[in-house]
Chains A and B, each alone.
Chain A
């Protein structure tokens, strides 16, 4: 970081967050591969790193790297939006190291201790055994402290500097994002109550606050990368916030169909969550529309050049607009109605949706932000693709799309055979698992997982080396 072009400490801190996020992203993919191999070859690492352990690291690393990249993105865009250095950036740096250290300890404990006795010490010191928010209670408190520091920095900077629409949305969004984590920090003997509040964290993160966060990032990206007009972009952002929260908050009902909660949630969950794809369509149209408009203005001036100042990042932003709509919108809608969900709930269909939605909605745009970081750090005016960036983009996107298709087909076998035909018993479950579509699907998923991982290697190589490439305009 010696010859950095970064003027703001906030942006330097952002690059730390991006770097750590990329490392954890690698861990996510690696343990995803272990789990994928186990589907095809169940004896692989049996009673060494079992599926439950591999999968816990796979999904927890997913959440963690995204949170790191999200914090990094905020620290990156704050100086641009507010016009000032982030207030409390020194504390931000301290919190970064605390956060990173906590995560390393948590992952090592997951990997080497794995399970504990059935008492509260396990929940405090090993893991909580609750999907996505497995982090032990001590780490929960560490995360709360880090999040509080982060939100405080954001608020102090927003209040002191120029508070743009984007910063206003982020301030409202990040406090909700952090506050919701608290609803997942308690223990209860009642599994229905447990899952009721568990969804407050998971759903209100990924189908509400995270989506709004992506809307804000997309707005920032359009302004910085193609020079879109702030007023138009921010109007779209407010429309998206209204639609995302309007559908997403009560869309929570689609998780309350079968966990012991009253029947009225069928109607609430069905109708509100059915509207959730709408803002995603809007975001897709908005990004493409603004791009076409800005390029059209450039063309009208008779200038035969692209308006895009960062090709790889913009590619990822476009893939975000598309992937969010496809993975979260279409794949989500597939199984959101209770009459469908009765059979698809908890099958590989869910897994197909999970892969494309997390990737399409979040991974894409956060990788885009990493490219913005590389551009800024190396003082590049117009950043172009390299061979590696093109390989990385196509292999990662193609790989995840391939995994999604494979899991969808496996999911058909899973829910038609084990759910609809056999009524979800032990025997029915394994009848579904031995279906031909299922077995083929799992083989293809592994192949496509390997493709994704190779793509990731290209991505790392490109992020590390593209800053020195000679063909960018400086």
Chain B
């Protein structure tokens, strides 16, 4: 009688399936234990001591944030508080956020919490993308804080008649259909002045997260080839 092949034996495949599933699950958990500390929210002390975190603490709203090419990593990374000689975050340069650059850790945390809860309560993710995830009916918000449109010379800031980026964004969030930019408009979601402030803090914080260079070339190209 011909010998039976292991390759057509159910027990072999059943055991292999069990093994592969088990090891892959264990590896995923191991990787999770490695990743979680790296994406844990940083603290105010980290910012004061110049410690770069992938997800900085909420008081990052007190600092100037830019998005610069990292020579070693070959993509853009958020630079907090201006760049040092090596092009890394120097955590020196502050920037006023709603008139203050001394938001305490508790205050900033409360603001971020209000904004994050607001982003869920107002269902942002079912029109916009956050960190690239969500719906595709409205612009990606990952680096919205750094969008030149909201900057001093940008059309959005001018449209709302406000003097700072954060005030312009908060005004737009409260009365979006008063400031239409396209036929596709943002609806009025009943966002209060306080909630708008929280949402802007949430957006500023999100722009400081190290997203491995996503989105690429954000805000760097002005008036590129028109897409028609």
Contacts and interface: CB of A to CB of B under 8 A. Distances in A.
Q: Do chains A and B stick together as partners?
A: yes
Majority secondary structure of chain A interface residues (helix, strand, loop or mixed): helix
B109 interface: yes
Interface stretch (A81-89, A125-133, A141-149): A125-133
B40 A193 contact: yes
Contact of B55 (A192, A250, A346, A347): A192
Given A262-B35, A435-B227, A414 B136 contact: yes
A195 B131 contact: yes
Interface residues of A, number: 97
Nearest to A407: B136
A259 to B, nearest CB: 5
A257 B131 contact: no
Given A123-B117, A242-B16, A129 B219 contact: no
Nearest to A47: B187
Contacts of A130: 120, 125
A260 B195 contact: no
Interface in A332-356: 342-343, 345-348, 350-351
B10 A234 contact: yes
Interface size class of B (residues with CB under 8 A): 35 or more
Contacts of A259: 131-133, 211
Given A129-B121, A434-B228, A261 B221 contact: no
Max count, chain A CB within 10 A of own CB: residue among B9, B36, B125, B126:
B126
A78 B8 CA distance: 26
B24 A245 contact: yes
Q: Which 4 A-B pairs have the closest CB atoms?
A: A129-B120, A118-B118, A417-B227, A258-B214
Interface of B: 8-10, 13-14, 16-17, 20-21, 24-25, 27-28, 31, 34-36, 38-41, 54-55, 58, 73, 109, 112-127, 129-140, 142-144, 147-150, 156, 177, 181-185, 187-192, 195, 198-199, 202, 206, 209-221, 224-228
Interface of A: 35, 38-39, 42-43, 46-47, 50-53, 55-56, 114-120, 122-123, 126-131, 134, 165, 172, 187-196, 198, 231, 234-235, 238-239, 241-242, 245-246, 249-250, 252, 255-263, 265-266, 268, 342-343, 345-348, 350-351, 413-414, 416-436
